[in-house]
Amino acid sequence: MSPPSTQTMACLALFAALQSRIFFSKDAQYLEIRPQSAEDVAEIINVTKPFALAGKIMMAIRGGGHMPWAGAANLDAEVTVDFQNITGVNYDPRTNLVSIGSGERWAAIYSALDQLDLGVAGGRVSKLPLASGEIVEANTQSHPDLFHALRGGNNNFGIITRFDMQTFPEGQMWGGLVSHNGNAFPDVAKTFINFAQTSNPDPLAHVIAAASFIQGMEVALANFYPAKPQPDPPSLAPFVAIQPQLMSTVRDDSLLGFSVEQSSFSPDGARSWFFTTTWQADLDFMLSVRALGAEAVAPLSASVPGFVLAKAFRPLTRWLLTASAAGGGNTLGLTPNDGPLIVNMLQTLHTNAADNDKVVSAMLALNTSIEDLAVEKGKFNKYKFINYGYKIPGL
C-alpha cells in the first residue's frame, strides 16, 4: 500500500481540527470548509499553512461566489473556504457603524438597513485572520498599513470575516433605467461624457451608461441614481430627455428596490464573464469603443446561443476621486488628477459550455483592441477595476 499523499494528509489534518465544518463535493473532487467564526478561519490557516507553504495544496476563498471565472472563488481538486455561515448584520446606534459578516449578501444588508432608513457605501474596519493565524482588526487606527493594503489588495493580505461600515441616513431615492434603440447611443454617450467632465458636479448623482448587444440587437442604456427622492435633478435631467425610449423604470424607490432591479438583469444559470479597461473620458473614444464592440459581436451573435454583450461605462469623476482620496484613497495609485476616467466593463452571457473558449478569446481580443486604441489615441489609463477583471497576468 502506498503512503497517503500530502494532499490527503492535509485533508486529514483539517478533518481532525474542523470535522463538522467540512463538506466533500458529490464526486469527492474538492473539499469545502464552511467556517462559523474568525477562530475557525484562524484554525484553518494554522492547519493548512505547512502544506500551503510547501506548495502541496492551494486554497480558494469564496464570499458570495460572484466572481465568475474558474479559480477566482473555487479550485478544482483543492480546498475552498466558503463563508456562507459567517453572516449577520448588526447596527450600533452609538457608533453609527454596521457590522457585517463577510458571507452576507447585499440584499439582506440593504433590507436590514432599509428598516432603519439607513444606507452604506464603503468599508471602515475589517476583522481578519492573517497568514500567521493571528486575528486582528484593521482600520485607520489599528494596523493602518494593513487597512490601506486591503483597499484594493484583494485576498492577498488576509481573510476577512467581518466588515464594519459607516452608515448614513437614506430614505427613498429617485432613479432607474432608461433604454433606447442602439441608434440613440451617440446621444446617450454625449450626455454621459458631459456628466463625467462637468466642472459643476452633483455629489449625489451617479450614472452608468451601456451599449448592450442582445442576440444581435443593440440597445443603448442609462442607469442613474441621485441619492435623494428629487425627480429630474439638473445633473440627470438630460438623460431622461433623450427620446425615443424603449423602456423606463424611473421612479421613487429604496436602495433595496433598485438593487433588486439590478439583479433581475443577471439571470441565474447563464454563463457569464467580465473583462475591463480604463480610459480617459472622451466622446470620440467612447463612440470608437462602441464600434469595436459591434464588430466583435457580429460573429458571436450569429453562432453562440443566448449570446449577450453589455459594454458598461462607469465614470470616475474628479469629484469622486477627490472624495475617495479624502476618505483614505486606494492602493492602486489613482489620484484626482487622473480623472475624469471611464471604467469600461465588457460583460457576456451565453448558454452552452461548448462556446466558452470562443466567447473568452473573442472578448480578450476585443479588450486588447480597446486598450491598443486607447494607447494610440493617448487615452489609456493602466488602472483596472479588480471586480471586473478577468484572470489576466498583472491584475
Ligand X SMILES: Cc1cc2nc3c(=O)[nH]c(=O)nc-3n(C[C@H](O)[C@H](O)[C@H](O)COP(=O)(O)OP(=O)(O)OC[C@H]3O[C@@H](n4cnc5c(N)ncnc54)[C@H](O)[C@@H]3O)c2cc1C
155 lines the binding site for ligand X (CB under 6 A): yes
Nearer to ligand X, 100 or 281 (CB): 100
313 lines the binding site for ligand X (CB under 6 A): no
Pairing of strands 118-129, 162-169: antiparallel
Selected from 48, 80, 102, 167, the binder of ligand X by CB under 6 A is 102
Distance CA 96, CA 109 (A): 15
Q: How far apart are the first and last CA of the chain?
A: 44
153 lines the binding site for ligand X (CB under 6 A): no
387 lines the binding site for ligand X (CB under 6 A): yes
Residues between 63 and 82 with contacts to ligand X, criterion CB under 6 A? 63-67, 72-73
Nearer to ligand X, 160 or 370 (CB): 160
Nearer to ligand X, 302 or 386 (CB): 386
Nearer to ligand X, 231 or 329 (CB): 329
111 lines the binding site for ligand X (CB under 6 A): no
Nearer to ligand X, 65 or 233 (CB): 65
266 lines the binding site for ligand X (CB under 6 A): yes
Q: How far is the CB of 110 from ligand X (least distance, A)?
A: 13
Q: Cis bond leading into 238, ω under 30°?
A: no
Q: Dihedral through CA 144, CA 150, CA 155, CA 161, nearest 10? A: 70
**Could you tell me which stretch among 16-24, 151-159, 229-237, 249-257 binds ligand X (CB under 6 A)?**
151-159
Nearer to ligand X, 101 or 340 (CB): 101
Side chain identity at residue 58, one-letter code: M
C-alpha cell at 327: 476618505
Q: Which of 310, 109, 93, 318 is nearest to 213 (CA)?
A: 310
The sign of the torsion formed by the CA atoms of 33, 36, 40, 45 equals: positive
**Could you tell me which stretch among 5-13, 153-161, 328-336, 364-372 binds ligand X (CB under 6 A)?**
153-161
Quick one: DSSP state of residue 363?
H
293 lines the binding site for ligand X (CB under 6 A): no
Distance CA 320, CA 339 (A): 9
Query: Strand runs (DSSP E) across 264-340, as ranges?
Result: 271-280, 308-316
Distance CA 75, CA 77 (A): 6
183 lines the binding site for ligand X (CB under 6 A): no
Q: How far is the CB of 66 from ligand X (least distance, A)?
A: 3
Quick one: DSSP state of residue 75?
-
160 lines the binding site for ligand X (CB under 6 A): yes
Kindly write out the interface string for residues 31-70 of this chain, putting x where it contacts ligand X by CB under 6 A and - elsewhere: -----------------------------xxxxxxxx---
**In the block, residue with C-alpha cell 439607513:** 118
Nearer to ligand X, 219 or 373 (CB): 219
The sign of the torsion formed by the CA atoms of 191, 193, 196, 200 equals: negative
Q: How far is the CB of 68 from ligand X (least distance, A)?
A: 6
Kindly write out the interface string for residues 210-229 of this chain, putting x where it contacts ligand X by CB under 6 A and - elsewhere: --------------------
CB 6 within 8 A of CB 51: yes
Kindly write out the interface string for residues 80-99 of this chain, putting x where it contacts ligand X by CB under 6 A and - elsewhere: ---x----------------
159 lines the binding site for ligand X (CB under 6 A): yes
Distance CA 282, CA 31 (A): 48
Q: What are the angstrom distances between the C-alpha of 141 and each of 132, 147, 152?
A: 21, 9, 19
| DSSP states of 247-278 | EE--EEE-HHHHHHHHHTTS-TT-EEEEEEEE
Selected from 7, 154, 330, 369, the binder of ligand X by CB under 6 A is 154
Q: How far is the CB of 241 from ligand X (least distance, A)?
A: 25
331 lines the binding site for ligand X (CB under 6 A): no
State the residues that interact with ligand X by CB under 6 A. Answer: 60-67, 72-73, 83, 102, 154-155, 159-160, 266, 387
